[in-house]
Chain A
Amino acid sequence: MTTALAIKNLHKVYGNGVEALKGISLSVEEGDFYALLGPNGAGKSTVIGILFSLINKTAGSVEVFGIDIDKNFPQAKKALGIVPQEFNFNMFERVFDIVVTQGGYYGLPQKLARERAENYLKELGLWEKRDSQARELSGGMKRRLMIARSLVHQPRLLVLDEPTAGVDIEMRRTMWDFLRSINAAGTTIILTTHYLDEAETLCRNIAIIDEGRIIQHSGIREFLQQLRTEKFILDLRQELPADFSPGFPCEVVDQHTLEVMVDKDQGLNALFRAISAEGLEVASMRNKSNRLEEMFVTLLADSADERADE
């Protein structure tokens, strides 16, 4: 299998002395859908900036499909498409021109660039806006414009820095479908996101970065299996008795609401039996938080503890 991206021991110290990356190593296989997670300021955008030559690395190596960026960056760039975190197109330019011009920077002949621009703008629902100036687009449309622009040279590896920030729920799902389809067609995708459900829905592998270090690097399934317990919220039709105890760790939020921690191998039947035995009826039930989110918070707390111990 080909490795799409191999990063080894990447360090970055910014001009102001901030050590944003403290030795990051990761590898992404061709065809993968990969998430880079981490809290604000973790260093995700710094890694991406280095890939796109907007940030100079301090140490370490980066290979894109086996091409070392120190040896032949232009060749590596041809295989890379980027959707940055911040809008970076000329706000006064026409939507269509922005995409076509980007094609020109990659040496695509006009005709081909125009065909592809039309194709991607249509797929991303921006074709009606092709003659508008970029500044006239809504935030979510601008983000989709950056996706169309990043694809015009048909990169083998697409990297998206928070592509769905500020995008409405329906559009987000459309974008997911779109990203899934280009991934299925063979494009390797790396994305960063703060929506963990997004990572859970889309990605096969993840890395979690915290304070410039990778604290977890695995398949999303293995990652979720580490999660031992889940928290459920139950809304009850009747008032809870004062001494209610279903045999699970639980918390009475108010007289009609109960929060219960359920262990992985315990199952939910026992819980419902205990509730029924009290003559209570469950009106509705939901997950307290996204499972990944929970895992994430736990991990970051552990990582902070470790740093405190050092």
Chain B
Amino acid sequence: MSNYEKWVAFCTILIKEVRRYLRIWPQTLLPPAITMTLYFVIFGTLIGSRIGEMGGFTYMQFVVPGLIMMSVVTNSYANLVSSFFGAKYGHSIEELLVSPTPGYVILAGFVTGSCSRGMLVALIVTTLSLMFAELQVQHLWLTLGIVLLTSILFSLFGFINAVFANNFDDISIIPTFVLTPLIYLGGVFYSLELLPDFWAGVSRLNPLVYVVNGFRYGVLGVSDVDVRFAFGMIFLFTVVAGTYSLHLLNTGKRLRQ
């Protein structure tokens, strides 16, 4: 395939992916808007006012970055896992596998599609949050960089999940039993400073801690962990997950017999 043909194939996958989540927006874009508004109301306004300050900010300001990242993570993941597994389950993935489109173009198309949903949801949630808290982004490029990289990373995780999944249960197990606990324990709602040393140490093994704190630093300028280290870790995870995903796609694991 020429580079132009690869570009056409990439755009075809991307457009198809974007159209998919836009078509089913009540399942893809509306839920994060509703849940996050509830979080803002309950944790930020009702309970938050009693909690007082955290990390030098009002509790509302403190939780907003974490909640935005939470929606980016869950939506990027959910988008790729359901789209790719759906295509695998219904066999329409064969349309792509029989074509000359190389594996990396297929992966890039799916990941970019999921990222676009992650970013769109981030935009929606951020806009909503402005009704509840005043946010001044301290480091714009770092903030955008972390959102983008996080969205890529969790799209890739979603892809890997989809490749190994055999049925619809398999695509909800990881989000329920792994992703959600890691997000809740990743410092979305509290500062690691509040934890005893031991648990603060254990928390540092949780990749979500870097995602949440990196982003919080970008927005508020404070973080529980070294931001360069956080960024490096997310980057490293992304490279590893990307390489592994590409390997799965090129060897046809669970896709070809």
Task: List the B side residues contacting A105 at CB < 8 Å.
Answer: 9, 12-13, 95-96, 99, 101
Query: Known pairs A90-B86, A93-B92. 14 more at Cβ < 8 A?
Result: A53-B98, A54-B94, A56-B252, A78-B1, A88-B91, A88-B95, A90-B90, A91-B90, A102-B99, A105-B12, A106-B9, A107-B4, A107-B8, A109-B8
Which B positions have Cβ atoms within 8 angstroms of A?
A: 1-2, 4-6, 8-9, 11-13, 16, 86-87, 90-92, 94-102, 252, 256-257
Query: What is the CA–CA distance of A93 and B23 in the complex, to the nearest angstrom?
Result: 11
Residue A310 at the B interface, CB < 8 A? no
As a 0/1 sequence over residues 20 to 56 of chain A, the CB contacts with chain B under 8 angstroms (1 = contact) are: 0000000000000000000000000000010011111
Residues in A neighbouring B98, C-beta threshold 8 A: 52-54, 77, 80, 82
Q: Shortest CB–CB separation between residue A20 and chain B, in angstroms?
A: 10
**Residues of B contacting A102 in the complex (Cβ-Cβ under 8 angstroms):** 95, 99
Q: How far is the CA of A91 from the CA of B13 in the complex (A)?
A: 17
Is A61 in the interface zone, CB < 8 Å from B? Answer: no
Chain A interface residue count, CB cutoff 8 Å, equals 33
A74 adjacent to B96 (CB under 8 Å): no
The reply on A15 being an interface residue by CB < 8 A is yes
Q: Check A276 for interface membership: any CB of B closer than 8 A.
A: no
Given A84-B94, A90-B87, A107-B1, do A75 and B100 touch, yes or no (CB 8 Å)? Answer: yes
Give Cα A93–Cα B91 distance, bound, in whole angstroms: 13
Interface assignment of A104: CB less than 8 Å from any CB of chain B: yes
Cβ contact of B94, chosen from A74, A88, A91, A101, cutoff 8 A: A88
A53:B1 contact, CB within 8 angstroms: no
Q: Tell me, rounded to whole Å, the shortest Cβ–Cβ distance linking A18 to chain B.
A: 11
A75 to chain B: closest residue by CB? B100
Name 24 A/B residue pairs within 8 A (Cβ), A-sorted: A52-B94, A53-B252, A54-B94, A54-B257, A56-B252, A73-B100, A74-B100, A74-B102, A78-B100, A87-B91, A88-B90, A88-B94, A89-B92, A90-B92, A104-B11, A105-B9, A105-B12, A105-B13, A106-B9, A106-B101, A107-B4, A107-B8, A107-B101, A109-B8
When C-beta atoms are compared, the residue in chain A nearest to B6 turns out to be: A107
Q: Contact string, A75-101, partner B, CB cutoff 8 A, digits 1/0?
A: 101101010101111110100000001
- Of chain B, the residue at the smallest CB distance from A89 is B92
State the Cβ distance, B105 to closest chain A Cβ, in Å. Answer: 9
Q: In angstroms, how far is the closest chain B Cβ from the Cβ of A231? A: 42
Closest CB-CB distance, A69 to chain B, in whole Å? Answer: 12
CA distance A74 to B1 in the complex (A): 7
The winner among B9, B87, B100, B252 for most chain A CB atoms within 10 A is B100
